[in-house]
A and B are shown apart, each in its own frame.
Chain A
Amino acid sequence: MTRTLWDSTVGKKTIMAVTGLVMLGYLVAHMVGNLKIFFGPGEFDGYAHWLRTMGEPVLHYEWALWIVRVGLVAAVVLHGVSAYQLSRRDIRARPAKYVHKKPRSSYATRTMRWGGIILALFIVWHILDLTTGTVHTSFEAGHPYQNVIDTFSTWYGNVIYIVAVLAMGLHVQHGFWSAAQTLGVGNATRDRVLKTLANLLAAALTVGFISVPVAVMTGVVS
């Protein structure tokens, strides 16, 4: 069954759909966690600390977090590798372009591909910025509230973040509906519901994530 999945275009799409949904679930949790920043440094930093202690006493300190991290990395890699391989295949399947071009025909595909690349790059940046602090100018481990404020106090920090969130929104909008089709949940009668749900999810995530830099820039959070 694993081979059938990996060898088939439909199977790879299934892997993308499932990993996409896993990441989507993570994004929702992540976004909810981010909103805690509106309740002050105590609550936000406490929440960050809890992420490391969750699962205790069954699990050791940070074990649960690492399990989540490993799971996410696996999802990102599977999603990305599948996407890369499928895209390669798609491009090979249409080597000659039409002389008379119709730009609309590849809009969704292109936004997914470029959006995916933007998101992949952003994830690297985001980890180096707010997890390891490698690219952060004044990173202090254990003080995420202050780190976030610092990041969104630079123009490039805001630009990178907002562009990535918008790309994420578009990616979720087409991706969620697309995953439903791939997993065979879609049909003619359910189509409107799925599309509405995709729009709502994309809008909620975009607004939720962008609210943080906007709040920092406007001084609501400082």
Chain B
Amino acid sequence: MKLTLRVWRQRNAEEPGAMATYEVDGISADMSFLEMLDTLNEELTLAGDEPVAFDHDCREGICGACSLVINGDAHGPERTTTCQLHMRSFADGDTIDIEPWRASAFPVIKDLVVDRSSFDRIIQSGGYISAATGTAPDAHATPVPKPDADFAFEHAECIGCGACVAACPNGSAMLFTSAKVNHLNVLPQGAPERETRVLDMVAQMDDEGFGGCTLTGECATACPKGIPLPSIAAMNKEWLRATRKVRR
């Protein structure tokens, strides 16, 4: 199939960017969206132009590197990562708009590549259980009820791609932050740091310049791993509980 691509091109963080239009031909429906971009990049390289920069790595939907807004949707029309989106979701002759994640906490590095280190700093502020190597008791010492283990897993599935922030009209990171808080706070192993974890992570999230949550639900709709919207309410509950318990 033949497509018209309108792609955000921006040389670096300082210079302004703009949409550029390209035509690609001979695209197979079995190609992934990124393989379609590979095709474009091969052509651009041979023509002596700089290929379009985009983050990608595992190309199997788990590393969370790929991050394109396609026709206004984070990761495109299907509920998956950009790398697992296939060209069969588009029709011959389509015009496709490709833009980077937009949020002030995710500044553009080049073209479609953004800096998501703010997510790392949120995790650094408390998204862990302090269990130094070698200090662990036997794995069966503390049974974890299956519903709790499943709840933890459901939230631990987050791949940190940032689609929630990209989709949110407020650039809010509440879904991302709540996924990690809920994963760790429901587990007995996470209990000792339960209060400080949620308070510190929310504070870091605010410091990074993410917006607040107005519960539009766009984040959960865009999430390729299906982190549910009530995850945010669960974190709010944890936060209020912690605010009552901890005197700072």
Assess A/B contact in the complex (Cβ within 8 A): yes
Interface residues, chain B, CB within 8 Å of chain A? 6, 8, 19, 69, 71-73, 97, 99, 102-105, 167-172, 199, 202-203, 205-206, 209-218, 228, 230, 232-241, 243-244, 247-248
By the criterion CB–CB under 8 Å, are B212 and A9 in contact?
A: yes
Is A8 in contact with B170, judged by CB distance below 8 angstroms?
A: no
Task: Tell me whether A10 and B211 are in contact in the complex, defined as CB-CB below 8 angstroms, given that A95-B104, A184-B234 are known contacts.
Answer: no
Chain B's interface: helix, strand, loop or mixed, by majority? mixed
Give A165-191 as 1s and 0s: 1 = Cβ < 8 Å from B's Cβ atoms: 000000000100110111111111001
Interface centre among A1, A90, A94, A95 (most CB of B within 10 A): A94
Q: Which of A1-40 contact B (CB under 8 A)?
A: 1, 3-5, 7-14
Task: List residues 138-187 of chain A with CB under 8 A from any CB of chain B.
Answer: 174, 177-178, 180-187
Query: How many Å from the CB of B248 to the closest CB on chain A?
Result: 6
Total contacts A-B at CB 8 Å: 141
B199–A100 contact, CB under 8 A? Answer: no
Name A's B-contacting residues (CB within 8 A). Answer: 1, 3-5, 7-14, 86, 89-102, 105-109, 112, 174, 177-178, 180-188, 191
User: Please, which residues of chain A bring their CB within 8 A of the CB of B233?
Assistant: 180-182, 184-187
Contacts of B72 in A (CB 8 A): 98, 100-102, 105
**Is B236 in contact with A98, judged by CB distance below 8 angstroms?**
no
Q: A1-B243, A108-B215, A184-B234 are in contact. Are A8 and B202 (CB under 8 A)?
A: yes
Query: What distance in Å separates the Cβ of B15 from its nearest Cβ neighbour in chain A?
Result: 14
- Residues of chain B within 8 A (CB-CB) of A97 are 102
A96 near B203: Cβ-Cβ < 8 Å: no
Name the CB-closest residue of A to B69.
Answer: A98
| Across-interface contacts of A91 in B (CB, < 8 A) | 170, 211
Which residues from B are CB-within-8-Å of A112? Answer: 214
- Cβ contacts A to B, 17 pairs, < 8 Å: A4-B248, A10-B212, A13-B213, A86-B212, A90-B170, A92-B104, A93-B105, A94-B104, A94-B211, A96-B102, A108-B217, A109-B169, A109-B216, A177-B215, A178-B215, A184-B238, A185-B237
Point out the residues of chain B lying under 8 angstroms from A13, CB to CB. 212-213, 236
